[in-house]
């Protein structure tokens, strides 16, 4: 019985991981333009789903309005740097039992003066089981969600540091 109070005290004394949630007020109702993701890969059309997911996550996580064109307070440029799929486990009969989808997206947040505020690259890999009917396209859909959430969090962290307009 004496162990429980001790454990509770220790849990409060331990340092946290440093992960911080972004306040939903971040963005202050300002506007952002999110042009379609630049895609020079052989995977035609993959940029459409990624762009839609990024736009949706920005609106879900931040107090920000989407606006097209150059009249926005901010512009988020994204580019597919690397995309691919490969087989990790091949079947003796041909094909693959386990595949991997890979995607890397470079992003850059600019203000209305076209000055770079922040940027980076987000990479994700996801395995899929072909025996269960999974495929690379389904894996990419899940990767889009993960990457868009990460980009929205990073954009939110940058906007939280800016003075209110």
DSSP string, 124-157: EEEEEEGGGT--HHHHHHHHHHHHHHHHHHHHHH
Q: Beta strand pairing status for 96-111 and 30-33?
A: unpaired
Domains of the chain with CATH codes: 23-161 (3.40.50.10610)
Given this model, what pLDDT does residue 97 score? 75
Q: What would the mean pLDDT of 140-159 be, rounded to a whole number?
A: 93
Prediction pTM value: 0.79
- How is residue 14 written in tokens? 């331990």
For 27-81, how does the pLDDT look when each residue is reduced to its tens digit (9 = 90+)? 788 899 999 999 999 988 999 999 999 999 999 998 889 988 768 999 999 999 9
For 102-146, how does the pLDDT look when each residue is reduced to its tens digit (9 = 90+)? 999 999 999 999 999 999 999 999 888 877 788 888 888 999 999
Given this model, what pLDDT does residue 23 score? 67
Given this model, what pLDDT does residue 17 score? 45
């Amino acid at each position: 019985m004496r162990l429980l109070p001790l454990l509770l005290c220790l849990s409060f004394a331990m340092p946290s991981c440093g992960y911080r949630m972004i306040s939903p007020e971040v963005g202050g109702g300002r506007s952002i333009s999110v042009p379609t993701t630049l895609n020079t890969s052989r995977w035609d059309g993959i940029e459409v789903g990624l762009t839609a997911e990024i736009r949706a996550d920005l609106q879900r996580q931040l107090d920000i309005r989407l606006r097209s064109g150059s009249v926005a307070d901010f512009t988020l440029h994204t580019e597919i740097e690397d995309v691919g799929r490969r087989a990790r486990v091949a079947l003796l009969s041909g094909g693959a039992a386990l595949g991997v989808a890979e995607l890397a997206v470079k992003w850059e947040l600019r203000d209305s003066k076209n000055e770079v505020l922040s940027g980076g690259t987000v990479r994700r890999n996801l395995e899929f089981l072909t025996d269960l009917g999974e495929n690379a396209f389904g894996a990419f859909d899940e990767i889009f969600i993960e990457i868009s959430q990460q980009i929205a969090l990073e954009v939110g962290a940058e906007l939280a540091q800016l003075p209110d307009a």
